[in-house]
Structure 1
């Protein structure tokens, strides 16, 4: 037991005791701050140490594991002359882990042959100007049935570590979005475009049969066009780069942008086209409404 001999010494002791308590409090506070710093450094380090492939896999899983979400976006084609020859917008809803109900909006840009006459070095019969033979088809009524065979989510099937090179587009920071750059294998990118073009041409052939009229003459024209298309496809080279933005908190994707460059020979002329697409992902809340926070 401590005995105070006089008030003065007791006061000094109280002061020293107060100093000790203050020092202990400061040490406790400092220790708490240090633990917080170490914790945050650990979280940041774990994100930085995670490879882009692993991080992207988390984001892709967040999307595939979502039972209900919505999308909207647009696709455009820059023709060999450098004009935006075709453009269309779409929106849709995904339910039951993958069932997409897609609708198309009317295009506000006419085809190249109508609004932007091709220069002398570009052929009006190139793949971009054969109706429905481009990566998507324009439509005046813009209904799902007659718009296009293009499916915005088909691109997701090609985005994996086995068929693409995945890297961080920007340094990964926990408090911000996570951005990825994804370069498709050239062979995979080419096959994807070839399949799409052939499917569009098949759609054109089916539509021409429903129109009636001179079926023999129409088939003759389509046959010649198909030969030209296949000849161009035999020379086709494709490079596709995608940019994927994900929410750093729950990994749910916010946006997918695609830039695809097509280089080919059409009737002896070397031509180049570009396809640009952008898809926004909107996470639906439990009551079925769309969370605006997840839209770019």
Structure 2
């Protein structure tokens, strides 16, 4: 069972990450950018001439790795861990290449009760390695299915406020985003080498008929859709993004992005799989720079 005090006190220390334009291009390719090589707006995300970076790349930069699996004294049941929600705030635009310092920490551990699991929030800050300027803050929310009931011994934090539901009205924008069959094999080269996303045998043991797409790839594709639909194709205009990951996605499927402009600078969204009519991202929120 999770040790609340030890886990809440965990700090990654400084994680230094130097990335190049090649890494920035590879990340965009993993999200399906470049499917139309004649589309100039896609090309500027995958071609070094006037290259632009997708802000969601912050989620894969200077990450602390598999610390929950490696730090066995924390008591986290890693095999029953599920990525439940992902958030991002951009404080200053990310450079297309550079050196960053990431520092991660656990901010909340919420006990849902014996047999009901726990919820853990992990915050990561990204700073420029030279100037120390804060560039981005990410938050990963994890559902620890095997760790409920720990507060009977000690500790436990109050639940975070629930994200607002998407509107019931028809969306203002609907975009279809086909997922390449090899998408997970490309995306994993941005850092997440979990064989669940590449090895059919591993996927089968986990209960899936074939390897699934990374949740952060689905989330990143939603960010790309927000940029396309509401940011005038300017990635730097996306300043915050958050969504719940509600169901797995398979490479080769088609994502459908539903977006609502709630007021200037604020967008609500969800993402569905067209072929199965399943919502895979929900309660989505994005904040934009004022035009």
Taking structure 2 as the reference length, what is the TM-score of the superposition?
0.29
Higher helix share: 1
User: Which has more radius of gyration?
Assistant: 1
Larger proportion of strand? 2
